Amino acid sequence: MNYTIRKATLDDCEELSRLKHVLWDQTYRGIYSDEKIDEFDYEKHKNKFMKIIDDPNVTLYVVEASGKLIGYMDYGVPYRPYKDYAQEIGLLYLLSNYQRHGIGTQLFNIGYNGIKDKGYDEFFISCNKYNTKAQEFYKRMGGEIINVDEDMEDKSYPQMTFLYKIKR
């Protein structure tokens, strides 16, 4: 399977927004409300990606195959801070037909090593409490569960948080 992992550019933002909608549909249909997925605001998410790319404290990578973006990952200062942890892998998404080929592991390792290279000894990842595929992946990557939110009526909010200790 041929693919390239590279840092995202502002030129990627429109395609990243479209990709995020597909990823939400694949990942969260049945967890998020249909309305939240079906009424996805492309412009809003394009602008969010632009802010991520412009943020000097966060690094965003994309995965490209056959000229199309198929996934992305970012790491750095937490978007939604958790306790006193200074770093996180905040986004790690890959289209379902590209999963289980080692690409997610490569993305995780880029984030891990990027955080390590900045001198940090730990970081966290949060994922939706009902996203069992992501939870299994984060456990395989060595994460220790440090928090599980209480159930809520809106299943898009509760999170499960994993802590990673960096080996020196």
Coil, strand, or helix at residue 121? coil
pLDDT at site 97: 95
DSSP letters, 30-64, are TTB-HHHHHT--HHHHHHHHHHHHH-TTEEEEEEE
For residue 25, the surrounding DSSP H or E stretch is helix 13-28
pLDDT at site 168: 85
Given the structure tokens 């394009």, which residue do they identify? 46
Please report, in tens digits, the pLDDT of each residue of the chain (168 residues total): 799 999 999 999 999 999 999 999 999 999 999 999 999 999 999 999 999 999 999 999 999 999 999 999 999 999 989 999 999 999 999 999 999 999 999 999 999 999 999 999 999 999 999 999 999 999 999 999 999 999 999 999 999 999 999 998
The pair of three-digit structure tokens given for residue 133, joined into one six-digit string: 């595929």
Q: What share of residues in the chain are helix, strand, coil (percent, to 5)?
A: 40, 30, 35
pLDDT at site 23: 98
Q: Compute the distance between CA of residue 164 and CA of residue 17 in angstroms, rounded to an integer.
A: 29
Coil, strand, or helix at residue 13? helix
DSSP classification of residue 26: H
Rounded to the nearest 10°, the torsion over CA 54, 56, 60, 61 is 110
For residue 163, the surrounding DSSP H or E stretch is strand 159-165
Domains of the chain are 4-118 (3.40.630.30)
The pair of three-digit structure tokens given for residue 32, joined into one six-digit string: 């998020």
pLDDT at site 1: 79
Q: Compute the distance between CA of residue 87 and CA of residue 168 in angstroms, rounded to an integer.
A: 17
pTM of the model: 0.95
Given the structure tokens 């997610």, which residue do they identify? 104
Q: Name every residue whose Cβ is closer than 8 Å to that of residue 117 and which is 6 or more positions away in sequence.
A: none
